[in-house]
Amino acid sequence: MENYIKEKKLSSIEMGSVILYGRLILDNKEKSEKKKNIKDILTTIINPDFNINELLGKGGKKHLIQGFKWRFAGVKIGSYQKDEYIYGKLGKESSQVQLAFDETKKDYIESERTKANVMHFLIDLNKKVLAYEYKKDIGDKTPIELLRELIRLFYNGDISLDIKMITDKRLITDRMKRFSILNRIDLNVCRTNPDSTSGSDKMDTFLREGRIKKLLMRAIGDEGGIRLDKTDLIKSGIHLAEEGYGSAQAIGEIGKRKEKLSFGDIPMRSEVNLIKDDNMNLQTLLFQIKEILRRLDIQSNNKKR
């Protein structure tokens, strides 16, 4: 399926930056009595002195390098109004050889220059949500894949970090309404951390009370299709996936053709102005995380009415 995030849509904003969001799902299989917390796990990697390219190269992830040098920069670790955070920039550097005039030799000589594409990001450690700036030359999913692979490689699989896109419930609802018949729904969801919304709490409670760590579900409708209005648990599971606690996919009919809808291709997004003041930027991103979580709950309530 063609990715919903089209370059022309995300790069068409003349002023400001597009911010995307991911839910952090940590799985710590360490056997030591005192397991590392999420802050210690992430700050070991998110460090300007950490050699990203070396780890990716040794781990066989050269497709993430492709002649570029990755680097974390401007990292700030702290708290603001009781919200603990990790803030920083991720840079994708490339070297270019250009001709430059040399005053000593009075001639043009080859000179190597570094060009960097830089995106801002913030992780709210309390809410376990990542907010990151979309940059066309870095990509919409690359920062997520990069962080996921760095954690896996550095901790030799004992600690893994999954990051699921938080999706736009309103747009997904609009797309789902286009199906004349809903043939199939695939769910891959887990329990919430720290908490669920009013829309996802039914499935979240089901998982917690059943002590279910992860649920894989495929619902296949009969000739008339699935009735979501009669399947509260599946509907709640869809909300759980929309909120970043897993993934979901729907297949349905629009007229005589079948279409697939992957929820991860329809992300929640915000448009903000990021400036040269990092302290203001981190406050902006913290606020945006609170705002999108509030929007998720409001949209869940609207769907219930």
Please write the tens of the pLDDT for every residue from 149-179. 999 999 998 999 999 999 988 888 888 889 9
Residue 299 inside a domain? The answer is no
Whether residue 273 is found in the same domain as residue 258: no
User: Tokens for 274?
Assistant: 């990021």
- What integer is the mean pLDDT of 222-237? 91
**Which residues constitute the domain of residue 208?**
169-266
Whether residue 104 is found in the same domain as residue 193: no
59 vs 92: CA distance, rounded Å = 19
Whether residue 249 is found in the same domain as residue 280: no
pLDDT at 14: 39
Residue 304 inside a domain? The answer is no
pLDDT at 72: 96
Q: What angle do CA 290, 210, 201 make, to 5 degrees?
A: 30
pLDDT at 107: 81
Whether residue 136 is found in the same domain as residue 21: yes
Whether residue 20 is found in the same domain as residue 148: yes
Burial class from Cβ neighbours inside 10 Å (0-12, 13-18, 19+) for residue 294 reads exposed
Whether residue 80 is found in the same domain as residue 125: yes
Position 228 pLDDT exceeds 80: yes
**Quick one: how many helices (H) and strands (E) in the chain?**
8, 11
Burial class from Cβ neighbours inside 10 Å (0-12, 13-18, 19+) for residue 40 reads exposed
Residue 2 inside a domain? The answer is no
Range of lowest pLDDT (8-22, 63-77, 116-130) = 8-22
Contacts of 260 (CB under 8 A, 6+ apart): 1, 249, 250, 251
Whether residue 146 is found in the same domain as residue 215: no
Residue 134 inside a domain? The answer is yes
107 or 33, which is more confident: 107
Whether residue 158 is found in the same domain as residue 284: yes
| Structural domains counted in the chain | 2
Q: Which residue has the tokens 């990755």?
A: 70
Whether residue 272 is found in the same domain as residue 262: no
Whether residue 251 is found in the same domain as residue 178: yes
Whether residue 146 is found in the same domain as residue 288: yes
Whether residue 19 is found in the same domain as residue 142: yes
Range of lowest pLDDT (28-32, 129-133, 189-193, 249-253) = 28-32
8 A C-beta contact, residue 10 and residue 138: no
pTM of full prediction above 0.85: no
pLDDT band at 303 (very low <50, low <70, confident <90, very high): low
- What integer is the mean pLDDT of 178-206? 89
